[in-house]
Amino acid sequence: MSSALITGITGQDGPYLAKLLLEKGYRVHGLTPRRSSDNLWRLRELGIENDVDFVNGDLADAGSVQRAVASVKPDEFYNLGAQSFVAASWDQPVLTGVVDGIAVTHCLEAIRQFSPKTRFYQASTSEMFGLIQAEKQDEKTPFYPRSPYAVAKLYGHWITVNYRESFGLHASSGILFNHESPLRGLEFVTRKVTDAVARIKLGRQKELRLGNIDAKRDWGFAGDYVEAMWLMLQQDEADDYVIATGVTTTVRDMCRIAFGHLGLKMEDHLVIDPKFFRPAEVEVLLGNPAKAKARLGWEAKTSLEQLIRNMVDADMKRVSKETSC
């Protein structure tokens, strides 16, 4: 039985990846810090809470990461843990730098010392491209990060490359463009929109307040993207891959899809609020996943329209339960 250790297993991507690996017969371990609040709802929603072996540890604590790797000696290590909300990175730049940047070194160093045959996946991000240097971004496009989050992720990306080249570790980075799902946190724009649309439809609120709705993003489904993570670690040679749909859409059009799904008019409820504009905006992101398709045989399966409809439907069920209580 193959084994995997996943950080960030209680976030959005972790449960989808854990479910995929469990279906493939893996023993799945999740690195989780001790917290008083309930953070397992996503695993419960996918019906796998009791199928994961939890290991106590925190990415910011090198010793606990080392103990986890030495104890589990996983065949595969997926580092999905991060402070992943871009807006919060301006308020917490040091924390973001530690968790999203330095902590990647904790993982790689633990593997190098205690389990050098472990294959490592680093969750990089399209935000590293920032002020884009090419119309479509691929693995050779120069990076120009525009937030503390992106800067920290860029360190994590390059330290992964460095350990691959310096120590021969099987260490790959997935440069994932925006990927969403019904498990997305409410602070992220897609879920903020779908939750608000459900609440407006059910009479729980009247308006949705957003910032720059003309920003363009390449949005896909997280459930599709975790398959690409797994495929990277099945290759003979480690490498870095852009994972994207190859289609970019404005926040405005994404909102129209969500409101329209429930027969609502976006213009009747959407309010532009300057406080939601970022200090340095990333205006356009558009990925070129040609390498992933050619080498991994991977491509996105879920359209943005279907993704947003699924998210709206899930939020309608959640908000309906609230109103019935």
Does domain 186-217+247-286+301-324 sit in CATH 3.40.50.10280? no
Q: Is 127 a catalytic residue?
A: yes
Q: Is 7 a catalytic residue?
A: no
Q: What architecture is domain 3-179+219-243?
A: 3-Layer(aba) Sandwich (3.40)
Give the pLDDT of residue 86.
Answer: 87
Instruction: Tell me the domain boundaries of the chain.
Output: 3-179+219-243, 186-217+247-286+301-324
Q: Is 121 a catalytic residue?
A: no
Among residues 7, 10, 96, 127, the one annotated as catalytic is 127
Among residues 118, 125, 248, 249, the one annotated as catalytic is 125
> Helix, strand, coil shares of the chain as percentages rounded to 5?
45, 15, 40
Task: Write out the chain's pLDDT in tens, 325 residues.
Answer: 899 999 999 999 999 999 999 999 999 999 998 764 568 999 999 999 999 999 999 999 999 999 999 999 999 999 999 998 888 899 999 999 999 999 999 999 999 999 999 999 999 999 999 999 999 999 999 999 999 999 999 999 999 999 999 999 999 999 999 999 999 999 899 999 999 999 999 999 999 999 999 999 999 999 999 999 999 999 999 999 999 999 999 999 999 999 999 999 999 999 999 888 878 778 899 999 999 999 999 999 999 999 999 999 999 999 998 856 5
Among residues 16, 78, 149, 241, the one annotated as catalytic is 149
Q: What is the C-alpha separation between 69 and 316, in angstroms, rounded?
A: 41
Give the pLDDT of residue 323.
Answer: 59
Under 8 Å between Cβ of 177 and 138: no
Four-point Cα dihedral 137, 140, 144, 150, nearest 10: 80
Cα end-to-end span (Å), the chain: 44
Q: What is the C-alpha separation between 212 and 236, in angstroms, rounded?
A: 43
Q: What is the C-alpha separation between 306 and 148, in angstroms, rounded?
A: 32
Q: Which of 315, 214, 316 is nearest to 272 (CA)?
A: 214
Q: Which of 270, 284, 309, 321 is nearest to 144 (CA)?
A: 284
Give the pTM.
0.94
Q: ∠ CA(172), CA(224), CA(194), 5° rounding? A: 120
